[in-house]
Copies of this chain bind each other. A is one copy, B any other.
């Protein structure tokens, strides 16, 4: 835009201060009448339109969230980086020992901890080492050589997960896995929860509540 003013609203400092204050005390998505009020009042301090107020709250909210998310992600990454291999090992061992002492009612353990410990870093078939710290991925399960229990089911999978941040995680996993599952899984496995026949909800027990 050439004549008149600039092509976009440029809030005066007073307007900004007040908007920020309103945001701080909780306003996030003002409705029409609120926007009208705000606009009217802020016009005291300079040219302003309703859309400016609307957009300002939209953007401020979004960028607040963004900042928060970035902080959290950075923190997570740090935590995970600082979580060195031997700490994980110790943690795992500790739990195993603990459980050894307290949870003997259901199961018997035929494997030894040296094996478990080893399996955290070593691929038993290839002897290729990867540390959690360097690879950014993590092997959680004991692998192979566990005798009866393990061989009974032929468990030999290696389980690796990407150590990516939450945001990406959430994004890439948004698919209806249930339909996918039905295609992928061998039909014999009673894998999927047996659903009761869908009946119409003629008389809902109670109204759907918003979670807080």
Which residues of chain A have a CB within 8 Å of any CB of chain B? 12-14, 17-18, 21-22, 25-38, 40-41, 43-46, 49-51, 54-55, 66, 69-70, 73, 76, 80, 83, 91-92, 95-96, 99, 102-103, 106-107, 138, 140-142, 146, 149-150, 153, 155, 157, 159, 161-175, 177-178, 180-181, 184-185, 189-193, 210-212
Contact = CB atoms under 8 A, between A and B. Distances in A.
A18 to B, nearest CB: 5
10 contacts: A14-B96, A17-B95, A31-B173, A31-B177, A37-B159, A40-B157, A44-B149, A49-B190, A54-B178, A167-B211
A13 B99 contact: yes
Oligomeric state, in copies:
2
A181 B13 CA distance: 26
Secondary structure class of chain A's binding surface, majority of residues = helix
Contact of A50 (B28, B49, B162, B192): B192
Given A17-B99, A32-B177, A103-B13, A26 B165 contact: yes
Q: Which of A70, A141, A175, A178 has the most CB of B within 10 A?
A: A141
